[in-house]
Every structure is written in structure tokens, then in C-alpha cells.
Amino acid sequence: MWNGELIDLDAYLDRVAFTLDPDADRATTLRGLHRAHLAAISFENADVRDGVPLALDVPSLQDKLVARRRGGYCFEQNLLFAAVLDRLGYEVTGLAARVLLNRSGPDLPRTHALLRVDRRWVVDVGFGGGGLLEPLPLTAGAVARQGDWTFRLDHLDGTWTLRSFQGGEWVALYDFPETPAVPADYAIVSHYLCTHPASKFRGRLLVQRTDEHARYNVTDLELTETRPNGEVVKRGMTVDERATVLREQFGLELPG
């Protein structure tokens, strides 16, 4: 399903600066790959903003995110990562989440892609709202400290909710059932997000990267740094300043 046989694994590993250790166990390798991917490949929506059609097949994802050293949003990032994990022999299940960011309500659509790996890990390298730095055990009440960030996974009535401790409170990031999703499901939702006039990904540039200590966001010409303690610093940029920030802080050379 994930077409791992189509991935150029050596090129991907070079892109994320990760060396496979044949003596490492599966969990250690998964954790290292997850962190390496996040450190190297930023979340960005420049193609969606510019009306460029997105292809979600593995060769296209490899060309964009690996060969051309671009970033992407959740469907691109997690489908590429799924192919890598499939190639390495992990059991990968696609899942679909409803982005909350402290909102609630059953009417919110499930517009975010994430992965369940080996039936025991929540894996997500494509969340633009400040998600996991490394896999989280798929266990009710699981709490993990990842750098300065702390995450918790709750389970109620068949639905999992991922929360992040920020500014002294638990912020609900997204929720999801364990109903499997396939690449065709993601393609339909991605098409909607790329084309619907109400999509938040259209009309403005969104770039995001999270490290051990902070989340960095570019929204059009504004740079925001958010820390787990709730501290937020914002500053405006010129177009030239933004190009420098994208290159030096996010590793991106974007078109236009």
C-alpha cells in the first residue's frame, strides 16, 4: 500500500542526515528517524498557496521533499515517511485526525494524516501545529517529555486525543479513531484542502518547524516563536528578510 519499494532509501537518509545502525532495535531506529525527519524537512504549504497541484505518489514526493529539498504539509510528509518505514519493514497503518487546537465539536472534519506503526506507536512528522518530536506509545494516559515539550495521549469511547502541555494547561492538538485510512482517502482530503476557497492553506504562506525548545512559524511576513511555557515572540519581516529566515532557519528555498 505504501510503495516502499519505490523509495530511494539512500537519498532519503542523506536528506535527513540519518545513518541506520544494524544493531539498533526497531523502537530506537523509529525514534531516530522521526527526529531526523523533523529536523531536516519543514512543514510548508507554498505549492498549495500558489495553486500548484500536489502529487502524493512516492516518486513525486521523493522528487519534491528529497531531491529538491522542499518541505510539505501533512499528507506529503507522512506519506513519504510511511514509504520509508514500509521499506524498512515496519507495519504502517494510516489514520485520519480532526485538528482541534483546543476547539471541539463533532462537525470538525478529519483533515490531518498521521500513522500508527507496529500497532503500538503514534507517528506524525507532518503536523504544523507543534506536534510530536518522536513517536508516542499508543497507550491510554501515556505521557512523554520530548525536549521541553510534554505530550499526553488520552482515550475515550474509541477516540484518542493528543494533548500538549503549553502555558500551564493541556492543549488538545487533535483526535483520531483507529479506523484505517489509505492513500486514496488522503488524496481526496488533500484535493479539498488545495482547492476549496475556505481552506486555511490557500492564500497565505505557512511554514513551521519545531525543535527541543520552541516552535517557529512563518505566516506570510510574520515570524512567531512559541515556547512550551506559553511565551510568544513575534516580529514582522520584509520579503527579503523572510527569504533569509526561510533559508537559514527552515532550510528552504521556496519559489517566488
Supply the DSSP symbol for 66. I
Tell me if residue 124 is catalytic.
yes
pLDDT in tens, 151-184: 999 999 999 999 999 999 999 999 999 999 999 9
74 is catalytic: yes
Domains and CATH numbers, the chain: 4-199 (3.30.2140.20)
- In degrees and rounded to multiples of 5, residue 37 shows phi and psi of -60, -50
- 36-48 residue pLDDT tens: 999 999 999 999 9
For residue 112, indicate whether it is catalytic: yes
Count Cβ atoms below 10 Å from residue 45 Cβ, excluding itself.
Answer: 25
Separation of alpha carbons 219 and 4, rounded Å: 33
37, 74, 86, 194: the active-site residue: 74
pLDDT digits (tens, 9 = 90+) for 200-224: 899 999 999 999 999 999 999 999 9
Catalytic residue chosen out of the listed positions 47, 124, 175, 194: 124
